[in-house]
Amino acid sequence: MLLVGDAGDFALAERSMVERLCADALTDEDRDVLSREGLLIDDGDPLGRVAYAYGVAERIGHAGALDYLILVPTLRCNLSCSYCQVSRVAERSTGFDWNEATLAAVLRLIDGLETERVKIEFQGGEPTLRPDLIRAVIDRCERIPIRQFVICTNLQRIDDDVLALFDRPDVFISTSLDGDAATHARQRTGDGATTDAFLANLRFVLDRYGPTKVSALPTVDPARLPDMDGLIDSYAAHGIDGVFLRPINYQGFARKRHAEVRELDAAWRYYHSAFVRRLIERNWEDRSRVLEETYFSICLRRVFQPGADRHVDLRDPNPVGVDYVVVDHDGRVYPTDEARMLTRSGVIDLAIGDVFDGWEAEARDRLNAHATNRFDPTCMGCAYQPFCGRDLVDDLSRYGRIDLPRHETEFCRRHLAMFDLVFELIYSADPAVRYSLARWLRLPGTPTKFGVRLS
Amino acid sequence: MIRLTLPAASDAEAPYVARLNTGRGGVDEADAALVDEDAEGVTYLGRHGVLAIDGASATELDRDVVIVDPVGGRAERILRRGSGHNTLLVTERCDQLCLMCSQPPKKTHVDRFALFEQACLLAESDSLIGVSGGEPTLYKDDLLGMLERVLAERPDLEFHVLTNGQFFDDDDVARLRDERYTRVSWGIPIYAADAALHDRIVGKDGALSRLEKSMAVLARAGARIELRTVLVADNADALPRLARYVAKRLRFIEVWSIMQLENIGFARARWASLFVEHARDFGPIGDAIDYAALHGIRAQLFNFPRCTVPEPWRDLARASISDWKRRYADACAPCRERDACSGFFEWHPIQQAEDGVTPL
């Protein structure tokens, strides 16, 4: 049985030891091994007590001052992807770009940031339709010492203005590659010529900047799961080793249309797990490169290396509207990009304010009082609690409420499955598994074991 | 090898601190200004009178901070300009007697805290100053007082203090929480997770238990800790277990330095029985590093020539040996990684060094 402490220490124990633990009948030897693993603090062990407190503190996510903005300078887009009906309008529409007042307000927001570092992600719509707005934002960040800009683009058209932005060392490119050309055409571009234009541009930016500056992620339709090797190959062929599998999240009206959504969620979980296992096989067969599924790696690192990632979708507590916000094309401010789309789809209005008058901290804080799994009765009985998180917006998008019993939510089912897989692999004796885990955990060598077994 | 102590003549009655200055860019009250230079050495004039130093040029010594000992007839280059390896040896007494001690302790103590304090106030901007011994915290109040006053006066300075961690107690928590201590890191040795083994290596019963008590104090104070483990034959195979101990109980450290042995002090006489040929079996060291890294503990290798470390761990090998006692083997001449490499201690067995390298 897996024993896990609040600080995330864990070990596999024989059932007999767990029985002695429950019966308050631990032997001295039991106490020694449990103390050594950080799972028990003996009286008269001040260091053990401090180590435990420190370990728990390390697990607590810290949302600092606002330093991460997701900006939507335009909602217009030159593509019409099947899964993106709510978050775009046609390229020739009017009234869906920031106007002068909106830009001025965004720049004022930037002037007010009080941090030494800033990350700004340009979303859309297709943000490269307005390189002038991107440039204005980037220029305004000059005074902030550490800057990172990510342009989330469909890479359909790269004109000189856009290229000049891409050429900046502080700009990174994020794009969508849904798999092989046929899948990509079906879900995104609609025809071969448009797909070819995208693939040529993807090749161009990868050749020009290398894979560290360019990331891509596939949106996967759980109702039509792509062939795994085909998907992996489409990334490997471009020299991109990290794949962040992103399922279409049926929400709002789409959710009502897909009555079988719960079955789709289960199919997705199965696919994800099989995908990770396939990557392990491929990494073992070809040692020259390390392929990884990004979300699995994030979860794996959360088990061993608290604080290694700043991934805002999985942390605890996970308050919204504090260290990052989304500014939409009309200047309205949302706590997350999901919240923006949810609002557009008409399910619920999750805007917390706008960029002109600011946002209401009180309503946000009322919501954030629940942004932790720490005191949730279901989570408190879960071995994975120290590694897991909370996502209020995901709950709202699926159920319109945040107070469902945790284990009845897809967030919980998904992460239970995820951490089941993580721990199954941690205790695997297969050298191929250990090899991939070590690489995903960024270790110099490959440990002979990742988890302790108590006897 | 750079000489740290030079013959010097001065008419002053007591030891004093001066900053040597060729005069370019102005002379300060605390400076001894250059008046003459010849083949023998250099002559300066300051508020303590004339100072003549032999065996170095004015250019070499420019802006060095020295402690002049008129009776002993010498000048110690306490803070050499441009060196990242300046260290104050605040006492030669120690309560432990480590098997491999590079600086075997003496019974007597010469209190020079006041001179060191004056020297630190003259330090180059933004320097990191080392404090070592003996055991500096045998004089904990003097030490902390000196650090606090210097750090208050000089917000640009940082200290790195080597201590065996045998003397911190609960009363120190509040004091060490002072903002100034964010500019102090503590280099603290631990040799094994097993108390009997650690205690035997440091030559003191109860040492690990007392160290744990100090570690709890330092953790509560938010102190910055560099953990140090010198590799000897006695603890090499116990390193993986130590790594588990560090990952479970000492997660609050900044970095864990695993250090190869220095052929000086006690280690010189016991070299054959202490030195571990890591190039022959890197296994337990690699396991320890991997286990630490798995749990987010950053490990680094000190005094490991880069070519002797297998490739996966090579980037953890630092150029750790102080400039004044570092050298390279003749065989190192063509190596491309020399600048990033520790090289060898000046006193490392020469044949062992020549035979052990393979230029990268």
Please tell me if residue A49 touches chain B, with a CB cutoff of 8 Å: yes
Q: Does A303 touch chain B (CB under 8 A)?
A: no
Partner-chain contact A308 B296, CB within 8 Å: yes
Predicted confidence band of residue A108 (pLDDT cuts 50, 70, 90): very high
Surface-to-core class of residue A178, CB atoms within 10 Å of its CB (0-12 exposed, 13-18 middle, 19+ buried): buried
Put simply, whether A304 touches B (Cβ < 8 Å) is: yes
Which tokens belong to A374? 């720490």
- DSSP 8-state symbol, A114: -
What confidence score (pLDDT) does residue A375 get? 92
Taking the Cβ of residue B186 and every Cβ of chain A, the question of whether any pair is shorter than 8 Å is answered with no
Same domain as A321, residue A238: yes
Q: Test B248 with A38 for CB contact under 8 angstroms.
A: yes
Task: Indicate whether A156 pLDDT > 60.
Answer: yes
What is the tens place of the pLDDT at every residue in A368-389? 999 999 999 999 999 999 999 9
Mean pLDDT value of segment A101-117: 95
Residue B85 near residue B322 (C-beta atoms within 8 A): yes
Checking if the pLDDT of A452 tops 60, the result is yes
| A306 and A177 belong to one structural domain | yes
Record the tokens describing residue A145, joined without a space.
């010492």
Inter-chain CB proximity B213 and A46 less than 8 Å:
yes
The Cα of A411 is separated from the nearest Cα of chain B by a number of Å equal to 26
The Cα A313–Cα A320 span in angstroms is 10
Q: Under an 8 A CB cutoff, do B219 and A54 touch?
A: yes
d(CA A330, CA A99): 8
Determine contact: A22 vs chain B, CB below 8 A.
Answer: no
pLDDT, tens only, A297-336: 999 999 999 987 777 778 899 998 899 999 999 999 999 8
B221 contacts chain A (CB < 8 A): no
Spatial separation of the C-alpha atoms in residues B352 and B360, rounded to whole Å: 18
Confidence (pLDDT) at B44: 94
What total number of domains does chain A contain? 2
In a 10 Å sphere around its CB, with 0-12 CB exposed, 13-18 middle and 19+ buried, how is residue B121 labelled?
middle
Q: Do you know the residue count of chain A?
A: 455
Rounded to whole angstroms, the Cα distance separating A249 from A261 reads 9
Q: Cα(B167)–Cα(B133) distance, rounded to whole angstroms?
A: 14
DSSP element (H, E) containing B186: strand B184-189
Query: What CA–CA distance (Å, rounded) separates A175 from A217?
Result: 7
Checking DSSP bridges between strand B224-230 and strand B74-79, what pairing results, if any? unpaired
Q: Predicted confidence band at A83 (pLDDT cuts at 50, 70, 90)?
A: confident
The per-residue pLDDT of chain B, averaged, comes to: 94
Instruction: Indicate the residue of A51, A58, A438 with minimum beta-carbon distance to B249.
Output: A51
Of A305, A326, A361, the residue that ends a domain is A361
Task: Count CB atoms within 10 A of the CB of residue A96.
Answer: 20
Task: Note whether A419 and A388 are within 8 A (CB).
Answer: yes
Confidence bin at B355 (pLDDT 50/70/90): confident
Task: pLDDT band for A85, please (50, 70, 90 cuts).
Answer: low
Last residue of a domain, one of A16, A42, A59: A59
Among the candidates A37, A59, A81, a domain finishes at: A59
The pLDDT value given to residue A251: 60
Beta-strand relationship, A219-220 and A214-217: unpaired
Residue A247 is assigned to a structural domain of this protein? no
The verdict on residue A381 lying in a domain is no
Interface A-B: count of C-beta contacts within 8 A? 71
pTM of the model: 0.92
A34 and A139 in a common domain: no
End-to-end CA distance of chain A: 11
CB hemisphere CA count around B257 (13 angstroms): 20
Tell whether A72 and A45 lie within a shared domain.
no
- How sure is the predictor about A66, in pLDDT bands with cuts at 50, 70 and 90? very high
* Domain housing A158: 68-217+229-242+293-361
pLDDT at A252 > cutoff 70: no
Residue A398 lies in a domain: no
| Structural domain includes residue A417 | no
pLDDT of residue A223: 86
How many Å apart are CA B21 and CA B35, to the nearest integer? 10
Select the residue of B248, B293, B315 nearest A36 (Cβ to Cβ): B248
- pLDDT attached to residue A365: 86
Q: What pLDDT, on a 0 to 100 scale, did the predictor assign at position A21?
A: 92
Whether A341 maps to a domain, the answer reads yes
For residue A173, being part of any structural domain is answered with yes
- Helices then strands, each counted (H, E), chain A: 18, 18
Residue A94: pLDDT over 60 = yes
Contact between chains at B250 and A51 (C-beta distance less than 8 A)? yes
Q: Are residues A80 and A37 in the same domain?
A: no
Q: Tell me, yes or no, whether A34 and A167 share the same domain.
A: no
* Residue A351 covered by a domain: yes
Same domain, A162 and A54: no
Picking from B219, B295, B296, the nearest residue to A50 by CB comes out as: B219
Say yes or no for a CB contact (<8 Å) between A444 and B219. Answer: no
Which residues in chain B have Cβ-Cβ distances shorter than 8 Å to A54?
Answer: 219, 251-252
- Percent of chain A residues past pLDDT 90, beyond the cut: 74
CATH of the domain at A113: 3.20.20.70
Model confidence at B325, in pLDDT bands (50, 70, 90)? confident
Tell me, yes or no, whether A164 and A298 share the same domain. yes
Task: State the smallest CA–CA distance between residue B355 and chain A in angstroms.
Answer: 26
DSSP A421-433: HHHHHHT---HHH
Instruction: Give me the amino acid identity at B298.
Output: R
Cβ–Cβ contact B173 with A under 8 A: no
How do residues B19-72 score in pLDDT, each as one tens digit?
A: 999 876 667 888 999 999 998 899 999 999 999 999 999 999 999 999 999 999
**Stated length of chain B:** 360
pLDDT in tens, B149-190: 999 999 999 999 999 999 999 999 999 999 999 999 999 999
Q: For residues A3 and A73, state if they share a domain.
A: no
Evaluated on CA atoms A232, A237, A242, A245, the torsion sign reads: negative
Q: Specify whether A13 is located in the same domain as A156.
A: no
Residue A257 is predicted with a pLDDT of 56
**Helices and strands: H and E segment counts in chain B:** 12, 16
| Distances in whole angstroms, Cα of residue B181 to Cα of each of A240, A314, B128, B185 | 44, 34, 13, 8
pLDDT at position A338: 86
- Per the prediction, chain A carries an average pLDDT of 91
pLDDT for the residue A86? 66
A51 to B244: CB separation less than 8 angstroms, yes or no: no
Sign of CA pseudo-dihedral A329, A335, A336, A340: negative
pLDDT tens by residue, B107-134: 999 999 999 999 999 999 999 999 999 9
Query: Residue B123 carries which DSSP code?
Result: P
